[in-house]
């Protein structure tokens, strides 16, 4: 980026709340069913139908507000936002324009070597649209999604880089997941991001005109889209230095093409669109009492940053590995469960984040998807901790556990003689003697001060025992023999 | 039989003096003969009504419990859903639309064993004061077939006045029950906003719409209110009040009752109406009520702000009629834009379009502050003015109609038509219960006077209306053309 410039970015994250039914109707709020099966008279906008608020959505919005340390409105209302489009059956969306349920929140996250706090202006509830499906001779409308509850989370224009934007979005996603209020499936569209981007010279106080990038559904796209837009705007300002900066960038909406990796203009907002917002007369204002908030607070679960701090401060996990755990809610939940029966958190963390994740990397599976019971991983950890098996054998046991997810490691070891640790010192001594007799040169090298030779000899013994002997014992025995 | 009230008809049935089938056939026959003269009905459920009647006869024979409205034939305004039947709203746009569900009140009416006999004519989407805005045909006034039935619930009012049914239901957004009821010489009641569920009523102005009964007797109004005001959790604005008894403990006199009259606001009333109104005031005085002069001058703004708020809400309520999902869809269109505009162009009548345009305008950015938001502020002032007036009065008395039914086609300027609702609109704006009592005549056509009560005082209001009816027996006269067997 041109060093005189800085970007000013604000994000709007639309997340579908995972309520059982829709925001204003009893129809199921569910993805992936046959078109137009999860619909009711309300979400198809039949005349005579009336919206009724889903209290579950209100509770989930409040949970989010608590998690981002926001003000929860004592009185919240809904408004009609009017426009015509076939995926909007009522001809207006029911949203919260005047009195959103959540205001003034903030989230803090780590980025490279600094901490960033993003201020959240508001989060409001609104109902989702249906979906158009284009066929060769006609366009169909699927109203399964119409009326599903969305929480729109709007930041202040306080984000400065694409990286900050994507880390902010990831942080929000994690919070939503930890609160269990959204599936956050970006592929299925239950988390969609709009970015407002402008640039200005660093010393300038006034903001320059912004553009909006709509419906970004991956963090990579988000970052890339913002980066190229910043570049584009700077280029325009730089190559038109004599023009009035107020008119160079036209207020407009873009979409990001994930295949062409570029931005495309959707529409220019010459005259601001007039949505004719006014209070929804079919819904009464919702009064949220302190007691309600206190009650909902009780169901507030551990948040990602709290879990991270616990991992670092209490469990002494490595920071990077702790991040890997926390950033993958399912893995982290698995860790929490297995931890209950494990003797060594660090070892458990390593096995989960390095060993197993590494082995599953190619297969597109995860430990939770293959279904190894927590207790089995815990007992593996404990077998290693108590020296029942060494780490080398542990790796092979893990391979077996992946193949047979339901089989406890104890059984795997019992059934396979190769996994039985060799702990009979006499037995090992015999092997040590035979290796030593075959490698007199190495003994001489060692005696001449070449420490490496010892490692070679240990390795030979380990090979012969197929890794079942404890390297410590082997080491001890070799040294004893050589010195005698 | 046509002279009987709904309750009397029910009692005929319960005392086995007439079978439900006989009652139903009687009214079906009367409709088939009389309705062609006035066009009150848009649909008749002959077969269904007879099936239900036979069911009731069987129930009675088997001594099974019967509902509160057993065997009472009734008519429903055609903007209230009956599952499987058409709800046209007298609009070309919905001329083939069949309801997918029962309105909450329909469930209650069916549960109480009434016999729904047909659906009645209205101004398109309940927008109008004369019923001339029906896309199909105008309903005529039984007192004078060249005059309007009033609107928008003109069909429901004329059906009761011509005794084709003893009881009907309408909706009232700015007077759509009370105004036609007055023009037809019958009772019409608009409950407190939120008393009766709006679920299944096709919305016009959501913050103003209420369903209510029309009848020849205040007691029938009371009985039907006991049924339709049941709590409903499908309408968020419904108060969900416990059931109340409207018919028991009718007061004995008007002593200690204070009735407020905004004399200054009524100064411009025409002579006939004024004299009629004053006669009623005297009646109340003679019955022992105290008359209090109250100031409600602010009501002169009612029409202006009503036509901002109601049309604003309507412009969005009617946005769903877009040619996409159901109803009228223009053929041979080449773009989405054209599909929208032609479907609406072809589907809606003139008055509906006028109100959509007006409502869209007053909500538009740049104008919303001056119109919609200001209107909301004045609405609050009107509510406060009523609250103040009610501090010192139990009821407020206002005329319902400033003059009796006018000739069909005689009012062509929409603004003149809007002025007809001057006295009915305030109760909608302030969410108050209001009942029109048939009282007196002007050129041999009926006049009505409204009694308005504070919010939620529906029961008290109706009970005193019953007392008034019992003591004075006004307007027992039936429209001469229909005061006979057919």
Residue A365 has a pLDDT of 85
Asked if the Cβ–Cβ distance from A48 to B316 is below 8 Å, we say: no
Answer whether residue A298 is part of any domain.
no
pLDDT-based confidence at residue A359 (cuts at 50, 70, 90):
confident
- The answer to whether the beta carbons of residues A213 and A13 sit under 8 Å apart is no
Q: Residue A332: pLDDT above 60? A: yes
Do A429 and A459 share a domain, yes or no?
A: yes
Answer whether residue B78 is part of any domain.
yes
According to DSSP, the β-strands at B140-141 and B144-148 are antiparallel
Do B353 and B399 share a domain, yes or no?
A: no
Closest CA to A400 of A408, A389, A392, A388: A408
Quote the minimal CA–CA distance from A243 to chain B in Å.
30
> Residue A477 is part of a domain; what is its CATH number?
1.10.10.410
Residue B475 has a pLDDT of 65
Distance CA B370, CA A90 (A): 26
Average pLDDT over residues B345-361: 97
Quote the minimal CA–CA distance from A7 to chain B in Å.
30
Do B28 and B101 share a domain, yes or no?
A: yes
Average pLDDT over residues A218-230: 96
Do A351 and A207 share a domain, yes or no?
A: no
Q: What is the pLDDT of residues A173-196, one digit of tens each?
A: 999 999 999 999 988 889 999 999
Do A332 and A276 share a domain, yes or no?
A: no
Q: Number of folded domains in chain B?
A: 2
Do A9 and A144 share a domain, yes or no?
A: yes
Taking each helix axis from N to C terminus, what angle separates B302-317 and B350-363, rounded to the nearest 10 degrees? 100
The verdict on A459 touching B (C-beta cutoff 8 Å) is no
Domain boundary among A292, A317, A333: A292
Domain boundary among B347, B364, B381: B364
Q: What is the pLDDT of residues B131-141, one digit of tens each?
A: 999 999 999 99
Which position has the token pair 């029942």?
A388
Answer whether residue A108 is part of any domain.
yes
Distance CA B437, CA B184 (A): 11
pTM of the model: 0.91
Do A227 and A186 share a domain, yes or no?
A: yes
Residue B311 has a pLDDT of 98
Do B44 and B120 share a domain, yes or no?
A: yes
Answer whether residue B265 is part of any domain.
no
Do B465 and B416 share a domain, yes or no?
A: yes
Do A308 and A402 share a domain, yes or no?
A: yes
Answer whether residue B288 is part of any domain.
no
Contacts of A46 in chain B (CB under 8 A): 100-101, 326
- The answer to whether the beta carbons of residues B5 and B138 sit under 8 Å apart is no
Quote the minimal CA–CA distance from B452 to chain A in Å.
23
pLDDT-based confidence at residue A2 (cuts at 50, 70, 90):
low
Distance CA A423, CA B471 (A): 111
Do B241 and B136 share a domain, yes or no?
A: yes
Q: Residue A389: pLDDT above 80? A: yes
pLDDT-based confidence at residue A272 (cuts at 50, 70, 90):
low
Q: Residue A441: pLDDT above 70? A: yes
Q: Residue A305: pLDDT above 90? A: yes
- The answer to whether the beta carbons of residues B60 and B53 sit under 8 Å apart is no
Do A255 and A286 share a domain, yes or no?
A: yes
Quote the minimal CA–CA distance from A36 to chain B in Å.
12
Asked if the Cβ–Cβ distance from B234 to A52 is below 8 Å, we say: yes
Site from A276, A279, A280 to mutate, B interface, most B CB atoms within 10 angstroms:
A276
Asked if the Cβ–Cβ distance from A90 to B326 is below 8 Å, we say: no
Asked if the Cβ–Cβ distance from B336 to A86 is below 8 Å, we say: yes
Query: Chain B: which residues have CB within 8 Å of chain A?
Result: 80-81, 87, 89, 94, 97, 99-101, 103, 198-203, 205-207, 233-237, 312-313, 315-316, 318-322, 324-326, 336, 340, 360, 363-365, 368, 372
Nearest to B101 among A41, A92, A282 (CB): A41
Do A134 and A240 share a domain, yes or no?
A: yes
Answer whether residue B274 is part of any domain.
no
Phi, psi of A184, rounded to the nearest 5 degrees: 55, 30
For residue A279, the chain B residue with the least C-alpha distance is B313
Average pLDDT over residues B316-335: 95
According to DSSP, the β-strands at B290-293 and B258-261 are parallel
> Residue B56 is part of a domain; what is its CATH number?
3.90.1300.10
Give the 3-state secondary structure of residue A348: helix
Asked if the Cβ–Cβ distance from A48 to B360 is below 8 Å, we say: no
For residue A142, the chain B residue with the least C-alpha distance is B325
Contacts of A52 in chain B (CB under 8 A): 233-236
Separation in Å, CA B164 to CA A303, B33, B108, B131, B439: 68, 10, 22, 18, 21
- Containing H/E element for B169? strand B167-172
Do B317 and B457 share a domain, yes or no?
A: no
Do A244 and A118 share a domain, yes or no?
A: yes
Residue B91 among the catalytic residues: no
Do B242 and B311 share a domain, yes or no?
A: no
Residue B206 among the catalytic residues: no
Compute CA A464 distance to the chain's CA centroid, rounded to the nearest angstrom: 45
Q: What is the pLDDT of residues B16-46, one digit of tens each?
A: 999 999 999 999 999 999 999 999 999 999 9
Edge-to-edge order in the sheet of strand B210-215:
B41-44, B115-120, B73-77, B167-172, B210-215, B187-190, B434-442, B445-452, B395-399, B258-261, B290-293
pLDDT-based confidence at residue A1 (cuts at 50, 70, 90):
low
Site from B102, B122, B198, B322 to mutate, A interface, most A CB atoms within 10 angstroms:
B322
Residue A31 has a pLDDT of 87
Task: Please state the length of chain B.
Answer: 486
Domain boundary among B316, B349, B364: B364
Asked if the Cβ–Cβ distance from B236 to A51 is below 8 Å, we say: yes
Complex ipTM: 0.96
Distance CA B237, CA A53 (A): 11
Quote the minimal CA–CA distance from B171 to chain A in Å.
12
Residue B274 among the catalytic residues: no
Do B31 and B98 share a domain, yes or no?
A: yes
- Containing H/E element for B116? strand B115-120
For residue B372, the chain A residue with the least C-alpha distance is A278
Residues 6 or more apart whose Cβ sits within 8 Å of residue B250: B463, B466, B467, B470
Answer whether residue A326 is part of any domain.
yes
pLDDT-based confidence at residue A240 (cuts at 50, 70, 90):
very high
Of residues A368 and B161, the one with the higher pLDDT is: B161
pLDDT-based confidence at residue A476 (cuts at 50, 70, 90):
confident
pLDDT-based confidence at residue B225 (cuts at 50, 70, 90):
very high
Average pLDDT over residues A348-362: 88
Of residues A388 and B284, the one with the higher pLDDT is: B284
Residue range of the domain that includes B141: 6-256+392-482
The verdict on A274 touching B (C-beta cutoff 8 Å) is yes
Residue A245 has a pLDDT of 86
Domain boundary among A230, A260, A292: A292
For residue B314, the chain A residue with the least C-alpha distance is A281
Taking each helix axis from N to C terminus, what angle separates B374-391 and B302-317, rounded to the nearest 10 degrees? 130
pLDDT-based confidence at residue A270 (cuts at 50, 70, 90):
low
Do B43 and B153 share a domain, yes or no?
A: yes
Residue B341, classified by CB atoms within 10 Å of its CB into exposed (0-12), middle (13-18) or buried (19+), is middle
Contacts of A272 in chain B (CB under 8 A): 365
Closest CA to A334 of A349, A314, A355, A312: A349
Do A346 and A249 share a domain, yes or no?
A: no
Nearest to B320 among A47, A50, A281 (CB): A47
Asked if the Cβ–Cβ distance from A52 to B198 is below 8 Å, we say: no
Name beta bridge partners: A152.
A14, A124
- Containing H/E element for A374? helix A374-385
Residue B312 has a pLDDT of 98
* Proportion of chain B above pLDDT 90, given as a percent: 97
The verdict on A141 touching B (C-beta cutoff 8 Å) is yes
Residue range of the domain that includes A466: 425-483
Do B25 and B157 share a domain, yes or no?
A: yes
Contacts of A82 in chain B (CB under 8 A): 315-316, 319, 363
Q: For residue B80, give the DSSP letter.
A: B
Q: For residue B192, give the DSSP letter.
A: P
Sign of CA dihedral B57, B61, B66, B70: positive
Closest CA to A282 of B266, B303, B159, B198: B198
Phi, psi of B179, rounded to the nearest 5 degrees: -65, -50
Q: For residue A24, give the DSSP letter.
A: S
Average pLDDT over residues A219-228: 96
* Proportion of chain A above pLDDT 70, given as a percent: 98
Residue A35, classified by CB atoms within 10 Å of its CB into exposed (0-12), middle (13-18) or buried (19+), is middle
Answer whether residue A159 is part of any domain.
yes
Residue A452 has a pLDDT of 83
Q: Helices marked H in B394-457 — which ranges?
A: 414-419, 425-429
Q: Residue A329: pLDDT above 80? A: yes
Residue in B5, B91, B152, B343 annotated catalytic = B152
For residue A81, the chain B residue with the least C-alpha distance is B316
Q: Number of folded domains in chain A?
A: 3
Residue B446, classified by CB atoms within 10 Å of its CB into exposed (0-12), middle (13-18) or buried (19+), is buried
Phi, psi of A120, rounded to the nearest 5 degrees: -105, 115
Answer whether residue B162 is part of any domain.
yes
Q: Residue B473: pLDDT above 70? A: yes
Residue A250, classified by CB atoms within 10 Å of its CB into exposed (0-12), middle (13-18) or buried (19+), is exposed
Site from B319, B328, B347, B352 to mutate, A interface, most A CB atoms within 10 angstroms:
B319
Q: What is the pLDDT of residues B199-208, one digit of tens each?
A: 999 999 999 9
Which position has the token pair 């090298």?
A445
- Containing H/E element for B271? helix B271-286
Instruction: Give the pair of three-digit tokens for residue A440.
Output: 């007199």
Do B360 and B396 share a domain, yes or no?
A: no
Residue B64 has a pLDDT of 97
Answer whether residue B324 is part of any domain.
yes
Of residues B122 and A466, the one with the higher pLDDT is: B122
Do B431 and B473 share a domain, yes or no?
A: yes
Quote the minimal CA–CA distance from A149 to chain B in Å.
18
Residue B141 has a pLDDT of 98
Q: What is the pLDDT of residues A109-135, one digit of tens each?
A: 999 889 999 999 999 999 999 999 999
Chain A to chain B Cβ contacts (< 8 Å): 94
Answer whether residue B417 is part of any domain.
yes
Quote the minimal CA–CA distance from A32 to chain B in Å.
22
Answer whether residue A297 is part of any domain.
no
Residue A271 has a pLDDT of 60
Name beta bridge partners: B148.
B140
Answer whether residue A316 is part of any domain.
yes
Asked if the Cβ–Cβ distance from B198 to A92 is below 8 Å, we say: no
- Residues 36-55 (A) with a CB less than 8 A from some CB of B: 41, 44-53
Do A283 and A360 share a domain, yes or no?
A: no
Distance CA B180, CA B184 (A): 6
Q: What is the pLDDT of residues B366-414, one digit of tens each?
A: 899 999 999 999 999 999 999 999 999 999 999 999 999 999 999 999 9
Closest CA to A149 of A176, A170, A171, A174: A176
Do A195 and A263 share a domain, yes or no?
A: yes
A13-22, A364-373, B190-199, B222-231: least confident range: A364-373
The verdict on A87 touching B (C-beta cutoff 8 Å) is no
Distance CA B10, CA B23 (A): 9
Contacts of A50 in chain B (CB under 8 A): 198-199, 203, 234-236
Closest CA to A311 of A350, A274, A272, A279: A350
Asked if the Cβ–Cβ distance from A282 to B201 is below 8 Å, we say: no
According to DSSP, the β-strands at B395-399 and B258-261 are parallel
Answer whether residue B303 is part of any domain.
yes
Q: What is the pLDDT of residues B56-113, one digit of tens each?
A: 999 999 999 999 999 999 999 999 999 999 999 999 999 999 999 999 999 999 999 9
Q: Residue A479: pLDDT above 90? A: no
Instruction: Give the pair of three-digit tokens for residue B35.
Output: 């309705």
Site from A44, A48, A83 to mutate, B interface, most B CB atoms within 10 angstroms:
A48
Domain boundary among B346, B364, B382: B364
Domain boundary among A262, A292, A322: A292
For residue A90, the chain B residue with the least C-alpha distance is B320
């Amino acid at each position: 980026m041109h060093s005189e410039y800085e970007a000013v970015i604000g994000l709007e994250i639309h997340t579908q709340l995972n309520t059982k039914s829709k925001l204003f109707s009893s129809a199921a709020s569910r993805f992936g069913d046959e078109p137009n099966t999860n619909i009711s008279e309300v979400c198809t906008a039949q005349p005579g139908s009336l919206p009724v608020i889903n209290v579950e959505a209100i509770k989930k919005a409040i949970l989010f507000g608590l998690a981002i340390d926001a003000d929860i409105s004592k009185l919240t209302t809904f408004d009609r936002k009017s426009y015509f489009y076939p995926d909007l059956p009522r001809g207006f969306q029911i949203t919260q324009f005047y009195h959103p349920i959540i205001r003034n929140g903030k989230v803090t996250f780590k980025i490279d070597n600094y901490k960033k706090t993003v201020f959240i202006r508001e989060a409001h509830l609104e109902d989702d649209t249906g979906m158009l499906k284009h066929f060769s001779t006609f366009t169909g409308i699927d109203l399964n999604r119409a009326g599903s509850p969305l929480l729109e989370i709007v930041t202040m224009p306080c984000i400065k880089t694409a990286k900050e934007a994507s880390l902010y979005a990831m942080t929000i996603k994690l919070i939503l997941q930890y609160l269990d209020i959204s599936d956050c499936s970006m592929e299925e569209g239950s988390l969609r991001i709009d970015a407002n981007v402008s640039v200005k010279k660093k010393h300038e106080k006034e903001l320059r005109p912004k553009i909006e990038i709509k419906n970004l559904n991956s963090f990579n796209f988000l970052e890339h889209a913002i980066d190229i837009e910043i570049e584009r705007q700077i280029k325009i300002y730089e190559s038109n230095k004599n023009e009035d900066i107020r008119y160079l960038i036209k207020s407009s909406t873009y979409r990001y093409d994930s295949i062409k990796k570029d931005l495309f203009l959707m529409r220019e907002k010459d005259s601001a669109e007039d949505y004719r917002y006014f209070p929804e007369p079919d819904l009464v204002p919702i009064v949220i009492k302190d007691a309600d908030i206190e009650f909902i607070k009780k169901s507030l679960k551990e948040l990602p940053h709290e879990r991270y701090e616990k991992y670092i401060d209490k469990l002494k996990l490595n920071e990077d590995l702790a991040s890997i755990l926390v950033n993958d809610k399912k893995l982290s939940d698995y860790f929490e469960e297995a931890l209950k029966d494990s003797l060594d958190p660090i070892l458990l963390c390593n096995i989960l984040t390095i060993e197993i994740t590494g082995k599953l990397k190619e297969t597109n599976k995860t430990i939770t998807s293959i279904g190894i019971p927590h207790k089995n991983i815990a007992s593996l950890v404990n077998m290693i901790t108590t020296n029942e098996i060494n780490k080398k054998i542990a790796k092979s046991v893990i391979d077996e556990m992946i193949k047979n997810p339901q089989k406890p490691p104890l059984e795997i070891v019992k059934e396979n003689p190769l996994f039985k640790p060799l702990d009979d010192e006499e037995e090992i001594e015999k092997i040590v003697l035979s290796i030593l007799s075959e490698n007199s040169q190495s003994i001489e090298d060692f005696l001449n001060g070449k420490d490496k030779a010892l490692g070679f000899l240990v390795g030979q013994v380990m090979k012969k025992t197929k890794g079942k002997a404890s390297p410590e014992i082997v080491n001890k025995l070799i040294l004893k023999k050589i010195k005698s | 039989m046509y002279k009987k009230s709904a309750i009397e008809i029910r009692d005929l049935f319960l005392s086995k003096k007439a079978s439900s089938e006989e009652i139903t056939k009687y009214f079906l026959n009367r409709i088939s003969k009389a309705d062609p003269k006035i066009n009150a009905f848009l649909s008749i459920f002959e077969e269904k009504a007879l099936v239900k009647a036979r069911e009731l006869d069987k129930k009675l024979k088997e001594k099974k419990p019967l509902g509160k409205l057993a065997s009472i034939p009734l008519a429903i305004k055609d903007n209230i859903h009956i599952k499987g039947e058409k709800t046209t709203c007298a609009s070309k746009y919905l001329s083939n639309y069949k309801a997918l569900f029962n309105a909450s009140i329909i469930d209650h009416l069916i549960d109480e064993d009434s016999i729904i006999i047909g659906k009645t004519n209205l101004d398109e989407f309940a927008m109008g004061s004369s019923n001339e805005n029906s896309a199909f045909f105008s309903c005529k006034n039984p007192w004078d077939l060249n005059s309007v039935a009033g609107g928008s619930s003109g069909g429901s009012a004329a059906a009761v006045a011509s005794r084709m049914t003893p009881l009907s239901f309408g909706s009232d957004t700015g007077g759509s029950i009370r105004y036609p009821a007055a023009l037809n010489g019958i009772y019409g009641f608009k409950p407190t906003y939120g008393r009766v569920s709006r679920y299944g009523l096709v919305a016009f102005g959501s913050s103003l719409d209420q369903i209510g009964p029309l009848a020849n007797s205040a007691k029938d109004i009371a009985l039907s209110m006991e049924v339709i005001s049941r709590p409903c959790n499908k309408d968020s604005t419904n108060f969900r009040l416990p059931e109340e008894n409207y018919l028991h403990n009718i007061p004995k006199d008007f002593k200690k009752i204070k009735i407020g009259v905004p004399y200054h606001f009524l100064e411009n009333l025409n002579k006939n109406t004024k004299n009629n109104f004053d006669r009623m005031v005297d009646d109340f005085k003679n019955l022992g009520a105290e008359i209090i002069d109250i100031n409600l001058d602010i009501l002169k703004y009612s029409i202006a702000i009503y036509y901002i708020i109601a049309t604003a809400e309507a412009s969005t309520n009617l946005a769903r009629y877009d040619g996409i999902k159901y109803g009228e869809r223009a053929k041979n269109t080449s773009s989405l834009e054209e599909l929208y505009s032609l479907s609406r162009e072809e589907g809606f009548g003139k008055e509906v379009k006028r109100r959509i345009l007006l409502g869209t305008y007053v909500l538009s950015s740049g104008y919303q502050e001056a119109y919609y938001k200001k209107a909301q502020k004045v609405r609050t002032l009107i509510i406060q003015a009523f609250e103040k007036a009610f501090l010192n009065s139990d009821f407020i008395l206002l005329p319902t109609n400033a003059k009796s039914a006018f000739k069909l086609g005689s009012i062509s300027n929409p603004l003149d038509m809007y002025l007809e609702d001057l006295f009915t609109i305030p109760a909608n704006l302030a969410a108050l219960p209001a009942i029109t009592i048939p009282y007196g005549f002007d050129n041999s056509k009926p006049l009505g006077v409204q009694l308005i009560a504070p919010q939620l005082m529906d029961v008290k209001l109706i009970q005193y209306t019953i007392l008034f009816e019992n003591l004075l027996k006004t307007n027992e006269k039936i429209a001469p053309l229909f005061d006979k067997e057919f």
